Structure 1
Amino acid sequence: MNEIRPIRAKSGTNQEGTSAHNRRVMIDALRLNGHLSRAELARATALTKQAVSNIVDELENDGLVASLAAVRKGRGQPSTPYRLVPEGAFAIGLQIDRHVTRTVAVDLIGTVLTRKDAKLPAGGPEVGVEAILSLIDKTRQELAAIAPESRDRLVGLGVAMPGPFGIDSDADDPWMMAAWQSFPLLERLSAGTALDVRLQNDAAAAATAEKLVGAAHGLDHALCVYLGYGLGAGLILDGELYRGAHGNAGEIGMILCRPRGGTDDRRTPLEHRISIASLCDILEIDPADPNLYGRIDAAAALQDSRLADWVEDAAYELQATIQILETVFDPQTIILCGGMPPGLARLLMDVLHPLLPSIAERRQRSAPRLQLGFTDPWAVAIGAAAEPISRTFDPRFSAILKTRSAGSP
C-alpha cells in the first residue's frame, strides 16, 4: 500500500466568486511542495477535482504552471504532476538604506536572477531618487537580457526602507531617514518605472524573504527579529505578513529600556544600544565603510573586548525580547536575521542560549524556538522583491471574507 505523503497547503473554497483566491491557493501549494498532481491538489486544498482541473488548465494556459512526466504509483493510473514555471512572473526589489541602495530581480519561485547596488549620493531624496531610478533601469535591462519574457511578466516593484512610517521625528535624526519619509517616493518611482510600487519597512521585507525562500517557508506563524542598522521584527501571522494599522507593526527597536547594570535611569530606544549602528559607534567604524562586514568579523575573530561586551548586552536584551514575543504571539519559531556579518550572527546565536523560559518550551516542537535566517546585505532587497510576488500570488483570507480593514490598500 502506497504511503500518502503529507502536503502543505491552504484550503480553497468551492463557493462561487472565489476563483482568484483558489488560483492563489493552488500556486501557494505548488510553491510549498514543489510539484503535485491534480488529485493531490484537490486533496490538499479541499477543492473539487473539477475545480482543480479548471484552475490547472487556466494556470497552464497563462504560463504559470507546467506538467512533468507522468508518474505511476502502484497499480492505478499514472498521474501527472505539475510545477510552477519560474519564468511565469518576475519582480524587482529595492532597498533604500542610509548609505546604499540595492536592487534585486527574482522570478516566480524567488530565484535571484540579478542584483546591483550603488552608493546613495549626498543631496537628499531629490538627488537620490534619480540614482535609484537609474539603478532600477539597469536592473531591468540586465533582467531582460537574462529572461526576455520578463518585459511582459514583471508584476511590480517592492520597496523597503527603515521605519517607522508617518510619525513626527527630528529632521536630523539618523535613525529615521526623515527626509526620505516626507518625500513623495512611491509617486516618483511609479512615474519613473510605470510599475505597481509598494513600500514596507526593512524588517517586514526580511520576513517576506524568509517566508518565500528562507527559514519561514511553509510556516504559518513565524516572527523574524531583524538586526541591521536598527532593530525590528517582521510578523508572519496565519500565513500572512501582519503590518498593523499604519505599517509599523514589529518596530521593537522603539521599545524604551534602561541600560543593564548602569546608574543611568533614562530610558532609551532599544535599537540605540542593540544594532549595527550602536556596534559601529563602539568599534569606531563608519557605518558607510564598504568593508563594514569584514571589519566587524575581524573584530569578532580577534575577540575584541568591546565587541564581546556589546554581544553580551545584545543577548541580554534579545533574550527578554524573544520571551515577550513568544508570550504575545505564540509563534512556531523565531528567526534571527538581518544585515549583519555571518560571524557576528553565529556569535550572537551562541550567547543567546539558553533562552529564557517561556510558553514556547514544549516537548513536541516541529521547529526550534530560535533559528538563524538570512544574514547578508541583500536580505532586505530580496524580501522587497518577494513582496510583489507575494502580493500577486499568495492567498489572502480577506479575498474570501470580502472585508478590508480601514486604511488598508
Structure 2
Amino acid sequence: MHDVKTIRAKRGTNQEGAGAHNKRVIIDALRINGPLSRADLARATRLTKQTVSNLIEALELDGLVMSEDVVRNGRGQPSTPYRLVPDGAFAIGLQIDRHSTRAIAVDLVGNVLARAEAALPPDGPVGGARVILGLIEAVRTDLQALRPQSERRLAGLGVAMPGPFGLAPAPDDPWMMGAWQTFPLLETLAAGTGLDVALQNDAAACATAERMVGAAHGLDDAVCLYLGYGIGAGLILGGELYTGAHGNAGEIGMALLSDGGRLTPLEHRASMASLCHALGLDPAAGNLYDLISERVRAEDPALSAWIAAAAGDLRLAIHLIETLFDPQAVIISAAAPAELAERLIAAIEPLLPSNAVRPGRTTARLKAGMFDPWAVALGAAAEPIGRAFEPRFSAILKEAAAR
C-alpha cells in the first residue's frame, strides 16, 4: 500500500450545469499543487472520474491544460499527470503610487514576462493617466513581441493603489491620494486599453502576490501586513481574498493608537513615509532604497530609534490581527530594502501572547514576505487571472441563471 499524497483543492459539484465552476476548480488545483493525474483530481475535488475526464478534455481544447509523460508506479496502473499551460492566459498588472507607477505582464502561472516603471508627474491624475497609458502600451508591446498569441488570451488589467476608496479625503491629506480618488480612473484605463479593468488596494494586491509565489503560498488563512507609503493589511480568509463591502477591508494603517493621550493612526508612526520623515528623506527620491540602505549599514541612530518605535506599534497590530482573524500566519511585506525589513521584523519579536499560541503549531506566527517594489504590481496582475479562472460561487449562479 502506498501513501496517498495530500492535495489542496476546492470542492467541485457534480450537479448538472456547473461546468464553469468545475473548470475553475481543476485549474485552481493544478495551480496550487502542480501536475496531477485525473485520479488525483477526482479524489481531491470530489468530482466523478468521468466528470474530471470531460473537464480535462475541454481544458486541453481551450489550450489551458496539457498532459505530461506517463508515470509508472510499480505494480499500479500508469497515470498521466496534467499541468497548466503557462501561455494559456496572460494579464497586465498596474501599481499606482504617490510618486511612481509600475506595469507588469504575467502568464497564467505568474511568470513575469515584461515590466516597466515611470515617475508620475506632479500635476496629478490628468497628466499621470497619460504616463500610465503609455507605460501599459509599452509593456503590452513587449509582451506581444515575446508571445505573439498574447493579445487574444489577455485576461485583463488589474490595478492596485493605496486606499481607502469611496471616501471624501481632505485635498491636502498626504496619506490619501485625493485627486486620484475622484478621477474616473477605471473608465479612462478601460477606454485607453480596451481591456476589462478592476481596482483593489495595494495591500490586497501584495497579499495576492504572497499567496501566488511568496510566504503565503500553501496557506488558506493569512494576513499580509504591507508597509508602503502607508500601511494596509491584505486578508486571505478561507482561501480567498476578502475585500469587504466597499473594497476597504484591511485598512489597518488608519487604526488609531494612543500616544500619551493623543490618538494617531498607525501609518503615521510605522510606515515608510514615517521613516522618511524621521530620516529627513524625500519619499519621491528615485534612489530612496539606496539612501535607506546606507543608513541601515551606518547604524544611523535616527533609524534605530524609528525601528524600535515602529516595532512596538506593529507588535500590537499583529496581536490585534491574530485576535480578530485567527490566521495561520501574519506576513510582513514592505516596499523597503530587505536589510531594513529584516531588522524591523527581528525587532518585532517576541510577539505578544494571543490565541495564535497553541500546542502543535507548525507554522511561524510571523513570516517575512516580499521586500520587492514589484510585489504590488505582480499581485495586481494576478487579479484578472483570478477573476477568469479561480473557482467562485458566482460561476455556479451564472450557469444556473442561463438555463
| Residue matched to 1:102 | 102
Q: Secondary structure at the match of 2:36?
A: strand
TM alignment of 1:169-184, pairs within 5 A: 169-184=169-184
Are the equivalent residues in 2 in contact too, given 1:38–1:53 (CA < 8 A)?
yes
Offset of residue 17 of structure 1: 1.9
| Residue matched to 2:268 | 272
Q: 1:382 is matched with which residue: 375, 378, 390?
A: 378
Q: Secondary structure at the match of 2:270?
A: coil
CA distance in 2, matches of 1:257, 1:399: 42
Partner deviation per Cα, 1:65-115 (whole Å, 9 max, x = no partner): 100000011212211000000000000000010110100100000111111
TM alignment of 1:51-90, pairs within 5 A: 51-90=51-90
CA distance in 2, matches of 1:380, 1:200: 10
| Residue matched to 2:315 | 319
Q: 1:367 is matched with which residue: 363, 366, 369?
A: 363
> What code does the residue aligned with 1:65 have?
V
TM alignment of 1:255-270, pairs within 5 A: 255-259=255-259, 263=260, 265-270=261-266
1:292 corresponds to 2:288: yes
Q: Secondary structure at the match of 2:208?
A: helix
TM alignment of 1:190-269, pairs within 5 A: 190-259=190-259, 263=260, 265-269=261-265
| Residue matched to 1:349 | 345
Offset of residue 336 of structure 1: 0.4
1:340 corresponds to 2:354: no
Are the equivalent residues in 2 in contact too, given 1:206–1:338 (CA < 8 A)?
no
Q: Where in structure 1 do 4 or more consecutive aligned residues deviate above 2 Å?
A: 397-402
Are the equivalent residues in 2 in contact too, given 1:230–1:277 (CA < 8 A)?
yes
Q: Secondary structure at the match of 1:189?
A: helix
Structure 1 residue runs of 5 or longer lacking an equivalent are: 403-409
Offset of residue 218 of structure 1: 2.3
> What code does the residue aligned with 1:349 have?
I
> What code does the residue aligned with 1:273 have?
R
CA distance in 2, matches of 1:203, 1:84: 27
CA distance in 1, matches of 2:348, 2:120: 34
| Residue matched to 1:48 | 48
> What code does the residue aligned with 2:168 have?
D
CA distance in 2, matches of 1:338, 1:54: 44
Are the equivalent residues in 2 in contact too, given 1:124–1:180 (CA < 8 A)?
yes
> What code does the residue aligned with 1:78 have?
P
**Structure 1-normalised TM-score?**
0.95
Offset of residue 401 of structure 1: 6.7
Are the equivalent residues in 2 in contact too, given 1:222–1:235 (CA < 8 A)?
yes
> What code does the residue aligned with 2:29 have?
A
> What code does the residue aligned with 2:96 have?
I
CA distance in 1, matches of 2:20, 2:71: 29
| Residue matched to 1:18 | 18
CA distance in 1, matches of 2:381, 2:310: 30
> What code does the residue aligned with 2:287 have?
N
Q: Secondary structure at the match of 1:155?
A: strand
Offset of residue 250 of structure 1: 0.2
Q: Secondary structure at the match of 2:149?
A: helix
Offset of residue 341 of structure 1: 1.2
CA distance in 1, matches of 2:7, 2:205: 27
CA distance in 1, matches of 2:394, 2:299: 51
> What code does the residue aligned with 1:49 have?
K
Are the equivalent residues in 2 in contact too, given 1:240–1:396 (CA < 8 A)?
no
CA distance in 1, matches of 2:145, 2:56: 30
CA distance in 1, matches of 2:397, 2:46: 17
| Residue matched to 1:406 | none
Offset of residue 48 of structure 1: 0.2
Q: Percent identity?
A: 63
| Residue matched to 1:125 | 125
CA distance in 2, matches of 1:136, 1:4: 45
Q: Identify if the C-alpha distance between structure 1 residues 92 and 307 changes in structure 2 by more than 3 Å, giving closer, same or farther.
A: same
> What code does the residue aligned with 2:267 have?
E
Are the equivalent residues in 2 in contact too, given 1:333–1:368 (CA < 8 A)?
yes
Q: Secondary structure at the match of 1:152?
A: helix
- Number of residue pairs aligned between Structure 1 and Structure 2: 399
Partner deviation per Cα, 1:339-397 (whole Å, 9 max, x = no partner): 11111110011111111111101222232111011111111111111111111111113
CA distance in 2, matches of 1:300, 1:331: 31
CA distance in 2, matches of 1:210, 1:247: 19
Are the equivalent residues in 2 in contact too, given 1:2–1:73 (CA < 8 A)?
no
Are the equivalent residues in 1 in contact too, given 2:20–2:396 (CA < 8 A)?
no
Partner deviation per Cα, 1:165-213 (whole Å, 9 max, x = no partner): 1112111211111000100000000000000000001101101111222
Offset of residue 399 of structure 1: 3.8
| Residue matched to 2:167 | 167
| Residue matched to 1:391 | 387
CA distance in 2, matches of 1:22, 1:298: 52
Q: Please, what is the CA RMSD of the aligned residues?
A: 1.3
CA distance in 2, matches of 1:40, 1:102: 39
> What code does the residue aligned with 1:359 have?
N
CA distance in 1, matches of 2:386, 2:207: 12
CA distance in 1, matches of 2:59, 2:395: 19
Q: Secondary structure at the match of 1:335?
A: strand
Offset of residue 39 of structure 1: 0.5
> What code does the residue aligned with 1:62 have?
D
CA distance in 1, matches of 2:250, 2:354: 20
Q: Secondary structure at the match of 1:267?
A: strand
Q: Identify if the C-alpha distance between structure 1 residues 357 and 398 changes in structure 2 by more than 3 Å, giving closer, same or farther.
A: farther
Are the equivalent residues in 2 in contact too, given 1:66–1:84 (CA < 8 A)?
yes
CA distance in 2, matches of 1:252, 1:146: 40
> What code does the residue aligned with 2:162 have?
P
